[in-house]
Amino acid sequence: MLTRLKVRNFRCLEYVEIPLGQLTAFVGPNGSGKTTILRAIDLVLGDVWPSLRSFRIPQDFSGFDTSKDIEIVVEFDPPYVHSDTLSSEHKVKALRLTCKPYKKSGKWREAGDLHVDIEPLNEKEEVPNVAVSQPRKGTKTQFNPLRVGTELRDHARILFVDHRRSLAQHWPSVRGSILGRLFQKVRKEFNAKDEFKEKYEEAMDTLRTERIREIERTVGETAKRMLSFLGRRATSSIEIAFGFADPANPFNSLRLEYRESGLTVPGDELGLGIQSALVVGIFEAFRQLGGAFGTIVIEEPEMYLHPQAQRYFCHLLCEIAEKGQCQVIYSTHSPIFADVNHFETLRVVRRSEGKTNVNFVSESEEKPLQEARERFKLGNRFDATRNEVVFASKALLTEGYGDRIAALLIAEKLGFDLDAEGAIVVDCGGKAGIELVLRVCRALGIPFVVLHDADIRHADAISDPEKRKKQEQENKAEREKNDRIKAAAGNIGRIYVITPSLEDVLGIARDASDKPRRIAEALGKVELADVKPDLGPLIEAVKELCCTDDSAARAGSVNGKEGLTP
């Protein structure tokens, strides 16, 4: 499993250091650097061996400055163990890829020419020095820096699935593909090779028409004349003929086909939507039939899939990651694949002042987030729209659907275009939900404003002792929830509280069955010029969301006063 990524001076990444988990989701706006992060992993551990041709020069250097060394380090666990000629074991925990200029001129190079190196690193982040010769009498054992070979790189090799979703990436003939892995066991169990060879020759005889034979003869005779320098005896044993791509390994030639109403279409000739569905099917086959795989890196898994298919694919990826079948790393623009409830998987990528930063939940933030999640265990499971908060530039966190409707109506009356501002109003599903979502926002560096009801009502005026006691208990519970929200916000967010509640201020009964509609009707009649003072927190919260820039919102202080606060 890959455990950490460090990148320096690669495209928009001047320097980032990112922990990687069993499931890791990179989210962020277009152009923030998500694809660059995945590309960095692919360069080191992907299907193609890294070389100077792997880089676009100077575009892949930060600021197009080729004097700055590109450095990409990928750490993994368990480490690779190399035994040298003295039987000493050397643990390799990372690979480092660099693209940098030579400092001195040499026989085959000039100072300033670029070159690419891939090196193994031990726990001290140094290249191990290993014995490469056997000890002999009168001679010293020779030691050299350990080189990266195919076996070492295969130890942490990844499968990279880009946004194109072509089935051609997944055919059994592609090295490291899922189908290739699934077919490994099939190849070993296949015991009808002689029968297949006989059927294959029959099929070729059927295909080899007179015209085909004529083409074969012409190609063969011409090729033999070109190879006459080998001698007549050698060329007489040469035979050239058409055949399938790899008859010695027939499983590599298998391709998925799409059949409908008697029409058969090769899978890689289909539209990308159907190809994406077939790719999901391949992943499902791996989940059910495959073993351990390693690491899969996917660029925008939601591409070309309708929402229900996105949810299915997301659950599938989560399951194979949770079961330990493989590590899954992806970038996404879909709230379905960015689950606030699984905050530990999120890596928020943003650009600020020309630099890319990656925010994630730190170890010190995990425990309070886990406690908040436990209090809101069921409420956050089935609402993907709440996950949109991780894509927002700033967020207004509300207690419920009615509060969200109210905030959106006020924003409309104020003439604010929330989408244009990258702002969002979130229905958190209750105060426990507000605590969870604001803790996630705080951990991931997302500016937020909070709006909720105080829900504290006078109990002294209640004459019935039992009802008064019940109200006092409710007040106590609400104070505890309000205090948890204040504590969770710390000194980063702003909190606006409506007293005692939005429904009370608008004259709507607490047990009304159609609160959102009533709230919309009541606010539709409100003129902002002569609004009730009790509605002040609602209006100020919306203004705060729309009028405060990101930096100010990030540095904002908590406002714990009930009612309108300046």
Handedness of CA 172, 75, 326, 343 (dihedral sign): negative
Ranges of H-type helices in 227-271: 232-236
Q: Rounded CA gap, 169 and 176, in Å?
A: 10
Rounded to an integer, what is the distance from CA 211 to the centroid of its chain?
A: 53
Handedness of CA 319, 320, 323, 327 (dihedral sign): negative
Q: Rounded CA gap, 396 and 331, in Å?
A: 25
Query: Catalytic residue positions?
Result: 510
Give the three-state DSSP class for 47: coil
Paired tokens of 491: 């000194």
If we measure between CA atoms, which residue out of 237, 281, 238, 241 comes closest to residue 258? 281
User: Could you write out the three-class secondary structure of 468-482?
Assistant: HHHHHHHHHHHHHHH
Paired tokens of 508: 């709507």
Residue 160 has phi, psi (to 5 degrees) of -100, 125
Distance of CA 143 to CAs 86, 87, 94, 134, Å? 10, 13, 21, 10
Q: Which residues lie across from 327 on neighbouring strands?
A: 295
Q: Rounded CA gap, 496 and 450, in Å?
A: 6
Give the three-state DSSP class for 20: coil
CB 338 within 8 A of CB 437: no
Q: What residue ranges in 388-504 does DSSP mark as E strands?
A: 394-398, 423-427, 448-453, 494-498
Q: Rounded CA gap, 498 and 506, in Å?
A: 11
CB pairs under 8 A, 24+ apart, for 13-21? 13/37, 13/40, 13/62, 13/356, 14/62, 14/355, 14/356, 16/356, 16/357, 16/358, 18/347, 18/358, 18/360, 19/360, 20/327, 20/329, 21/327, 21/344, 21/345
Q: Rounded CA gap, 157 and 118, in Å?
A: 14
Q: Rounded CA gap, 412 and 414, in Å?
A: 5
The strand pair at 23-27 and 70-83 is best described as unpaired
